Chain A
């Protein structure tokens, strides 16, 4: 086993990961309640904002083309899908 292999060994990596987590927990502590609430609020806006954008764009297109709900409904759905997808991605990063 070369030095490089030893550095890449899962046991060494696992130990370092654990050490980093413990050190970070000691330095930063548990996040405050306000911060957690802020995170939850951001999550809500991430989902809602693309839906609102979808609705406004759909309304405008419908007014331009005189087409009732033809554009509003699909753009609302598209906004919801984009919102949920980006919320999921954001949650995995956090």
Chain B
């Protein structure tokens, strides 16, 4: 089976071959294997786990989302946020690390945008000074 986990900004997981998958919706935990009937459900916040082609376990924390099974061989999960990891015991730390990285990125973006604004203002002011006082000519 093929598994795709996508967020609005990124394709987090795209694996061509998985054996079985477990996930949680409002009714509890459930499993999907190859040849499952077409299926649509709304996932709860939690962990999606699956076994790869070689039987190795994989995990992904998802913040809710919609899961579809089509043709018994395609699983697609669309979610707001997803953090993948291969070790369940440290997955919470992985999620926390991701949060911290996001905060850091946001801060860097904010300083960059402020710097851009200040530069633009500085350029305008220097332009106005060059073109004589009072008569600004932007042509």
Asked if residues A14 and B99 are in contact (CB atoms below 8 Å), the reply is no
Nearest neighbor of B85 in chain A, beta-carbon distance: A15
Q: How distant is A75 from chain B, measured CB to nearest CB, in Å?
A: 40
Q: How far is the CA of A23 from the CA of B61 in the complex (A)?
A: 17
Main secondary structure of the interface of A (DSSP, over half): helix
- Whether A53 sits at the interface, judged by CB under 8 Å, is no
Asked if A11 meets B81 with Cβ closer than 8 Å, knowing A1-B103, A6-B100, A18-B47, the reply is yes
- Whether B95 sits at the interface, judged by CB under 8 Å, is yes
Interface size on B, residues (CB 8 A): 18
Residues of chain B touching chain A, judged by Cβ–Cβ distance below 8 Å, are 24, 44-47, 61, 63, 81, 83, 88-89, 91-92, 95-96, 99-100, 103
Asked if residues B88 and A19 are in contact (CB atoms below 8 Å), the reply is yes
Asked if A11 meets B45 with Cβ closer than 8 Å, knowing A1-B99, A6-B100, the reply is yes
Contact of B88 among A7, A12, A22 (CB under 8 A): A22
